[in-house]
Structure 1
Amino acid sequence: MPMPLMLILLLILQQAIAEPRELWGLVKAWPIPLPNWILKILQNVSWSAKSAYKILQDYSLLTWLLSILENKFLETPLLCSIISLLHTLWVTNLGHRGVELGSQPRCKPGSQEPPKLLALHLVNEFLYVLIVLMKHLRPALPSAQLASFFRVLNSVLKYRATVTQAFRDMDRFTVNETVLSTKNVLILLHKWSLIGRDTGLQEDLRAAIEKYQVKELLKMLKDKNRPVVAARSRGPWGQRRRPGEAEEAADPELQVSSLETCKGLLRSMLTHWGPVFPSCEPAQEPADRTTPESRAPGPVHATASLATTWVLCSVTIDPLSRADAAGLLGWLKTHILPQPVIVADLLGDSRVRSGIFKLYSRLCSTKGLSGPVQSVACLLNTVMLQLVGARGPAGSSLRPAVEALHLASLKEEDEATLAAAAFLVSLYIKDVWLGAQRPDTLLTHVQMVCDSAEDVPSGNEAVFVHCKELAASAPDA
C-alpha cells in the first residue's frame, strides 16, 4: 500500500477512536461506504504480520472495532467485513504458532523461559471483541462468515487455554482464568438455535431465560419476535436494517456442511466454559445419590444442564476427533459430573442417555481400546463408571471389582494390559447401561476365559489375569 494512503488511513482510524461522532460527518459525505472501505483496506494490510501487529498495538484497532460493535444493529455487509478482518488479524498474528491444545511445547515446571506465544492480554482483547460481536450474529449472515466467526472464536479459546497452561507450567500467576460467562453461553446457544433452526433448543432456552429473568436475553427474545421495520439504530456506525434481515430470516444458501462445521466448533467452544456454581450449593455429593437437592437449581445449573444436553445429543451424529473427544470428556469429568443436580437431569433425559451410549459404542469399539485413541477410551470409561454409579445402587456385586480394575489399569504402562482391562470394563458398562440386572456379557466372557486357561495365546496373559481376579471377586455374580 502506498505510504500516503496508509498515513491517511491511520489518521482516519485515530480520529475514529478519539471522536467517532465527528467522523460520522465524513462518513455521510463520502461518495462510497467508508466503513467498508476502511475495513477492506485494513484486511489487505493485515496479511502482513508486521503491519497487522502494528495496527493492533500502535493504533488500537480492536478498540475501534469495539466502538462499532457497540451499536444496536449493524448492516450485514459491514458485519461481514468486521468478521473477515478479525479472522485475518488473528490468523496473521498467530502465524506459525499452533492453535490446538497441546500443540505448543510445554515448559518444564519452574522454568522462567517463556514459550513463544502471543501475549495473554492480546488474546484477551480478541476474545472480548468476539464476545461482543457474538450478539450481532443472525441467520441472515452468509454461511462463510458464520463459519469464519465460529472458527476464530474457537481458535482464540483454544489458544488462550494453551497460554494459560504454559503459565501454570512456569508457576506463574494468571488473573481471571474464566473465559466465558453463563450469559455468554446462553447467548451462544440462543444464536445457534436461530442459525440452526433448532426449535427444541429455542423452547428450552426461552423457558430458562424467562424463569431466571436474564435481562439481555429477554430483550433478544423480544427483538426476535418484533416485525421487520426500517429503523436507524443508535451510534455513528449504525445502518438501516434491510428487508429480510430479521434474526429469524434464514439464509437460503446456508449449506448443510457449513452448519455441521459450525455445530462442531460450537460444541468445542462450550467445553471451554467453566461454570462457576454458587458456593452455597455443594458440588460434592455421594456418588450413589440420584435425587437432586430439595431447593431448586439456579441459573448456572440450568444453563449447564442445557449446554450439556445439547452437546451430548449433538455428538450422536457427528464424529469427534481425538482432541475434541478428550476435551469433551475432560470437561464433563471436571465441571459436570461433580454436580448431582445436573447429573440427575441428564440421566432423566432419554435423548441424553441414548446419545451417551452411542458415543460410548463409537469410542470404545475394539479399535478404540488400543493405539493412539486408547487414552480417550480410558477417560470415557472413567466418566461412564461415574454415571453408572449415579444411576442407583449396584445391580451386581461385580461393580466394586470392575471399578478397582479400572483404577488399577490407569497406572499401567503396558498397552496390552491397559487394553485388556478397558475391554472388560466396557463389557460391564454396556450391559449395565442398557438396564441389565446382571452383566451377563462380562460374566460369560470371564467364565469362557477362565475355562480355557490352558489355551490362552501367548501375549494375552493380561486378559486371563484380569478375568481370574473378577471371577474371584464376585463368585455369586
Structure 2
Amino acid sequence: MEREDNTAADLKASELEKCRDHLNSIFTRWEPVFPEPPTKQPGEPLKSADLGDETVSLTCASAYTVTKWLVKSMVEHRLNMQNVSLTLRWLQNCILPHSAAVREMLRDETLRNNIFRFYMRICEASSGTAGLFKELCLFSSVMLHLMDAQGLTKNSFHELVKKLCLSAMTEEGANKKAVCVFLTSVYIGDIWLGAQEPDMLITHVKLICSSTDDKLNDNDLETHKQGEETIMPLCKTLYLAALGN
C-alpha cells in the first residue's frame, strides 16, 4: 500500500513538472505589446486617455505576473536548462526594452529577491558545467540592466564591470571568459544586496594583485603562469580603480 502511495505521489510530481515545462514554454513565447504614443495635430491637446494608459497598465501587470511565475519556478523547482535559456532570453528581449514593465517588476521586493536567488543558482550550477557560461553571461547582462534601473550603479566600478560582462559574452577563450564571469558575479552580489561599494570584488582584486604590485607598475606580466596571465590583465584596471577610492 505504501509503495503504491509513493508511486502515485511520484507520478503526480512528474506530471506537475511536465505542466510547469509546458507553461514555461508558453509564457516565454508570449510577447507583451505596448501601445505606441499617439500622434496629434499641432496645437491639439493630448488627453491622458489618448496615451493608452489603461492598456499600458494592463500589459505591465500581465508582464509582471508572468515574470513572477517564471522566476519563482526557476527558484523553487528543478532547473531545466532549456527553460532557463528561454526565460533569460524572454527577459532580455521582451521585458528589459520596456522601462514601464521593468519598473513594475522591480517594485516587488519578493520578486527582486527571487531574481537574485535565480542568479545565484545559475552561478552555482555553472561552476561545474562549462556549457552554462553562455546563460550566466546573459543573466549577468540582465542583472546589470536591472541594477541600472534601480539606480544601484553610483560607484566607480560599474562601467568597468559592464565591459567585463560584454567581454565575457564575446570572448572565445574559456579561461578569460570564466574570469570575466566570476568577477562580474562577485560585483553583482555586492551591489544587488545593497553595498555602496563592491567590497567583496575589491577584496578579491587586491588579493590577486597585491603580491605583484611591482610587476603591475612595470607592466611586466611575462613570468606568470597561464591562470595568472589570464586574470592579471583583467584585474589591473579594477585594482587601479580600487586604489583610487
Task: Specify the TM-score bucket, using the shorter chain as the normaliser.
Answer: 0.7 to 0.9
Question: In the alignment, what sits opposite 1:326?
Answer: 85
**Correspondence for 2:26:** 269
Higher relative helix content? 2
1:299 lines up with 2:58 in the alignment: yes
For residues 275-329 of structure 1, the C-alpha deviation after alignment (integer angstroms, 9 at most, x for no partner) is 2221128xxxxxxxxxxx9x56332222111111121122111132222211111
2:202 maps to 1:450 = no
Q: Which one-letter code corresponds to 1:394 in the other structure?
A: T
Q: Which residue of 1 aligns with 2:68?
A: 309
Q: TM-score when scaled to structure 2?
A: 0.79
Q: 2:153 aligns with which of 372, 394, 405?
A: 394
Contact 2:202 2:242 in 1 (8 A): no
Give the one of 166, 172, 178 matched to 1:419.
178
Is residue 344 from structure 1 mapped to residue 103 from structure 2 by the alignment? yes
Tell me the CA shift for residue 392 of structure 1. Answer: 0.8
1:460 Cα deviation (Å)?
Answer: 3.2
Give how far 1:369 is off: 7.8
Q: Report the CA distance shift for 1:365/1:253 in structure 2 as closer, same or farther (over 3 A).
A: closer
Partners of 1:254 and 1:415 in 2: CA distance = 41
Alpha-carbon distance in structure 2 between the residues aligned to 1:407 and 1:367: 18
The residue aligned with 2:123 is 364
**Counterparts in 2 of 1:362 and 1:456: CA distance versus 1, 3 Å:** farther
Counterparts of 2:109 and 2:186, CA distance in 1: 21
Instruction: Check if 1:475 corresponds to 2:234.
Output: no
Moved >6 Å (runs of 4+)? none
* Equivalent residue number for residue 379 of structure 1: 138
Structure-1 residue corresponding to 2:231: 463
Once the two structures are aligned, what percentage of the paired residues are identical?
35
Q: Conserved in 2, the CA contact under 8 Å of 1:370 and 1:415?
A: no
Amino acid at match of 2:114: G
Please list the CA deviations of residues 403-440 of structure 1 after superposition, one character each: whole Å capped at 9, or x if unmatched.
Answer: 12222332211111011001000000011111111111
2:17 aligned to which of 254, 257, 260: 260
Aligned partners of 2:179 and 2:231 also within 8 Å? yes
- 2:219 maps to none
Asked whether the 8 Å contact 2:167–2:177 carries over to 1, the reply is: no
8 Å CA contact 2:74, 2:84 repeated in 1: no
Q: 2:46 maps to which residue?
A: none
After TM superposition, list the pairs within 5 Å mapping 1:151-170 onto structure 2.
none
Assess if the C-alpha contact under 8 Å between 2:34 and 2:59 holds in 1. yes
Aligned-residue CA RMSD (Å) = 2.6
Structure 1 residue aligned with 2:35: 278
Q: Residues 266 and 300 (structure 1 numbering): CA distance in 2 closer, same or farther, change over 3 Å?
A: same
- Counting only pairs closer than 5 Å after superposition, residues 68-87 of structure 1 correspond to structure 2 as none
Distance 1:253 1:465, change over 3 A: closer
Q: Deviations over 1:307-358 (max 9, x none)?
A: 1112112211113222221111111000001111221122111221121111
Q: What CA deviation, in whole Å up to 9, does each residue of 1:168-218 have, x standing for no partner? A: xxxxxxxxxxxxxxxxxxxxxxxxxxxxxxxxxxxxxxxxxxxxxxxxxxx
1:410/1:473 Cα in 2 relative to 1: closer, same or farther (>3 Å)? Answer: farther
Shift, 1:360, TM fit: 0.7
Contact 1:427 1:441 in 2 (8 A): yes
SS in 1 for 2:227: coil
- In the alignment, is the contact (CA less than 8 A) between 1:369 and 1:419 conserved in 2? no
Amino acid at match of 1:390: A
Give secondary structure in 2 for the equivalent of 1:279: coil
Q: Which has the larger radius of gyration?
A: 1
Q: Is the 8 A contact 1:313 1:351 kept in 2?
A: no
Find the aligned partners of 2:137 and 2:94 in 1 and give their Cα distance: 18
Q: Secondary structure at the match of 2:62?
A: helix
Aligned length: 214
Shift of 1:474: 5.0
Gaps of 5+ in 1: 1-251, 282-292
In the aligned structure 1, how far is the partner of 2:26 from the partner of 2:57?
A: 22
Q: Tell me if 1:405 matches 2:126.
A: no
Q: Distance in 2 between matches of 1:353 and 1:393?
A: 13
> Counterpart of 1:450 in structure 2: which amino acid?
C
TM-aligned CA deviation for residue 254 of structure 1: 8.4
Contact 2:126 2:136 in 1 (8 A): no
